[in-house]
Structure 1
């Protein structure tokens, strides 16, 4: 009688161990999937950062147009929501600098 109880408990423990192993495999699979998705998202965000940096005006261009200006660029994580650029509009005879710039 006691050996039957022990055997039954052992079978229960083995079944529980099997269930735990299956759950561990499922968790490992989900972790891999999350890791892969995270890598894709991070790569996309870094690519967006590269595009943003290529589009933003360089500080030298801004200093040339507006000597007393500065750029305060502080993205929260990787990409900023701000876009700005400077372009030369052309010559103006009445302009002290001889050129007119447009900051957008």
Structure 2
């Protein structure tokens, strides 16, 4: 069974289409999710995710781990993880076969 979500970039929200539950995403969680979606199925290494998501801010891999944990909670991705997958010593990727995006609204 797939989780189906709508993402509204302009409002920084994600809505579960089954339950109607809407959650506001922080700017970094939204940027991380969009990055993983754009590169779904392809492992993104930790350093590149930190650079793309947090841009010129000095952060540690703990910031990434916390954002991943938040997204997993919102996406109901429980261990063993099926949506956001960690490849040890490599990075993270989005398993799009376990997640359906009904729509992603553009940011205006």
TM (normalized to structure 1)?
A: 0.19
Higher gyration radius (CA): 1
- Which structure: greater strand fraction? 2
Task: With a CA cutoff of 8 Å and minimum separation of 6, indicate the structure with the bigger relative contact order.
Answer: 2
Q: What TM-score, normalized by structure 2, do the two folds share? A: 0.18
